[in-house]
Amino acid sequence: MQQTRMLHAPHPAQHRLRARVPEKMLVALTVNGVETRLKVAPWTTLLDALRDHLDLTGTKKGCDHGQCGACTVLVDGRRINSCLTFAVMQDGAHVTTIEGLAANGALHALQQAFIDHDAFQCGYCTPGQICSAAGLMAEGRAKSADEIRELMSGNICRCGAYPNIVAAIQQAMGRS
């Protein structure tokens, strides 16, 4: 019995670590143009902060491991996988999700292009595809269909809508 207690007794260093890590931390984010303050556990991903704390469920959780791109959002204009960053790491950042792309009641050019080209089937990957494509366009590196395919390769579509997705992005880039 005494041996069992010893096996499960926390190491003194674990005690000290637990004492140092706060249960909740304050994070300031501007999400889709709205200044927001959140109290989250330090290990809360940006993805979970958006979905579970701000009810912005357009951003999807696929793999939760940086493999599928379903969680792509724009942070200070750059596309990132929101499952791979903690919310506290983005303190002070401007975040744009799929809910923030339309402006003044008009769809973003990419949203319209995805509709025009039927660039989705189940739609689960679509918010990530569109946010990633917005980041791609801002980067200005993709000039051809092959470059679009290459630079969008982090966004998986299990329905295989790839040709339509590329066509939609080309339309939004004014290259169709």
149 binds ligand FES (CB under 6 A): no
Tokens representing residue 122 in the block: 């189940």
**What distances in angstroms separate CA 36 from CA 14, 52, 54, 139, one per listed residue?**
33, 14, 9, 27
Of the candidate residues 27, 46, 98, 161, the single one contacting ligand FES (CB under 6 A): 161
Q: How distant, in Å, are the alpha carbons of 91, 132, 141 from that of 150? A: 31, 12, 11
| Residue 163 binds ligand FES, judged by CB under 6 A | no
Q: What are the tokens at 74?
A: 């724009």
Q: Contact with ligand FES (CB under 6 A): which of 75, 83, 109, 131?
A: 83
DSSP helix, strand, coil percent of the chain (3-state; round to 5): 40, 15, 40
Residue 158 engages ligand FES in binding (rule: CB under 6 A): yes
CB nearer ligand FES, residue 9 or residue 122: 122
Is residue 137 within 8 Å of residue 170, measured between CB atoms? Answer: no
Q: Examine residue 115 and tell whether it contacts ligand FES (CB under 6 A).
A: no
Q: What would the x/- binding string for ligand FES be over residues 30 to 69, using CB under 6 A?
A: -------------------------------xxxx-xxxx
Residue 102 makes contact with ligand FES by CB under 6 A: no
Sites of contact with ligand FES (CB under 6 A) = 61-64, 66-71, 81, 83, 120-126, 157-159, 161
